């Protein structure tokens, strides 16, 4: 074999080896990311530029954690300024719907409707497997809707796998059935969104994660305020 042929062969094999090594690395990354505990998205992605590493955290809050939250007071003040109401301001850090209600009640009246929009529940079973429930108001006809329950397992990539339910279990399920699924293990995440209306005409949409208010949109007399990521240090409110 002449020298050129040998050099070509070495280069070719070297190239193949590097390519293969990169692929193995990619595979390894996926397997690392799908470890039993929830892992950040970035480590799952084979291409770092798909989603920036500074992506907002989607990690669920652990129940009863001692997460340090900023005070709700600045947000309550912004809500008042935006909607031009004199809502009560509190100094405590209870960033929950009850605090919001207490602040708004005198100005907006009683909450006379408060309907579930959607709800996610994550459950860790005693055997280590995971389950998820999603409840959602779903359209069933042109003007008809019902409460749809979807039930999921979780795969190696921490993504939901639909598990079968009967029509009776899935559409407008009984509270007892939902409770029976929730009691199969330890609840690791609860998040739910509600839509409501106040007696003086205001409307609200809000999301709670593990009992902590994370998002809200409040509309009153033509003014709207939208607050996001309240359960993190990046919470913001925009007055529309």
CB of 115 to other proteins, least distance (A): 7
With contact defined as beta carbons under 8 Å apart, do 221 and 201 qualify? yes
* In the complex, minimum distance from the CB of residue 38 to other proteins, in angstroms, rounded to a whole number: 5
165 binds other proteins (CB under 8 A): no
8 near other proteins, judged by CB under 8 A: no
Task: Out of 84, 93, 161, 186, name the contact with other proteins by CB under 8 A.
Answer: 161
C-beta contacts of 110-116 below 8 A and 24+ residues apart: 110/198, 110/199, 111/196, 111/197, 111/198, 111/199, 111/204, 112/196, 112/197, 112/198, 112/199, 113/195, 113/196, 113/197, 114/194, 114/195, 114/196, 115/194, 115/195, 115/196, 116/147, 116/192, 116/193, 116/194
* Total of residues contacting other proteins (CB under 8 A): 80
117 binds other proteins (CB under 8 A): yes
Single out the segment in contact with other proteins by CB under 8 A; choices: 68-76, 92-100, 158-166, 176-184. 158-166
36, 46, 62, 168: which one binds other proteins (CB under 8 A): 46
- C-beta closer to other proteins: residue 73 or 226: 226
Task: Report the sign of the C-alpha dihedral through residues 89, 227, 191, 167, in that order.
Answer: positive
Residue span binding other proteins (CB under 8 A) among the ranges 69-77, 79-87, 95-103, 129-137: 129-137
Interface with other proteins, residue 16, by CB under 8 A: yes
Beta-bridged to residue 213, according to DSSP, are 208
* CB 198 to other proteins: min, Å: 10
Considering only residues 137 through 156, tell me which ones interact with other proteins, judged by CB under 8 A: 137-145, 150, 152, 154-156
Whichever of 89 and 109 has its CB closer to other proteins, that residue is: 109
Enumerate residues 6+ apart whose C-beta is below 8 A from 191: 60, 119, 120, 207, 208, 209, 210, 214
Residue closer to other proteins (CB basis): 73 or 81: 81
Does 177 interact with other proteins (rule: CB under 8 A)?
A: no
Q: For the CB of residue 197, give the shortest distance to other proteins in the complex, in Å.
A: 5
CB contact at 8 A, 120 and 229:
no
């Amino acid at each position: 074999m002449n020298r050129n042929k040998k050099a070509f062969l070495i280069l070719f094999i070297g190239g193949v080896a590097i390519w293969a090594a990169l692929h193995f690395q990619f595979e390894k990354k996926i397997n690392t990311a799908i470890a039993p505990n929830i892992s950040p998205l970035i480590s799952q992605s084979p291409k770092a530029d798909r989603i920036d590493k500074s992506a907002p955290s989607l990690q669920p809050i652990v129940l009863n954690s001692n997460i340090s939250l900023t005070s709700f007071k600045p947000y309550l003040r912004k809500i008042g300024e935006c909607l031009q109401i004199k809502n009560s301001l509190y100094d405590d850090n209870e960033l929950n719907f009850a605090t919001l209600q207490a602040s708004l009640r005198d100005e907006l009246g009683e909450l006379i409707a408060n309907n579930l929009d959607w709800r996610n529940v994550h459950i860790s079973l005693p055997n280590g497997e995971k389950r998820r429930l999603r409840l959602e108001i779903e359209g069933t006809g042109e003007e008809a809707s019902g409460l749809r329950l979807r039930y999921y397992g979780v795969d190696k990539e921490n993504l939901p796998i639909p598990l079968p339910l009967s029509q009776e279990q899935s559409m407008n399920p009984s509270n007892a059935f939902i409770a029976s699924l929730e009691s199969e293990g330890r609840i690791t995440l609860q998040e739910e969104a509600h839509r409501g209306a106040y007696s003086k005409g205001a409307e609200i949409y809000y999301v709670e994660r593990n009992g902590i208010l994370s998002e809200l949109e409040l509309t009153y007399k033509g003014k709207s305020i939208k607050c996001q990521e309240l359960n993190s240090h990046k919470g913001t409110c925009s007055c529309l």
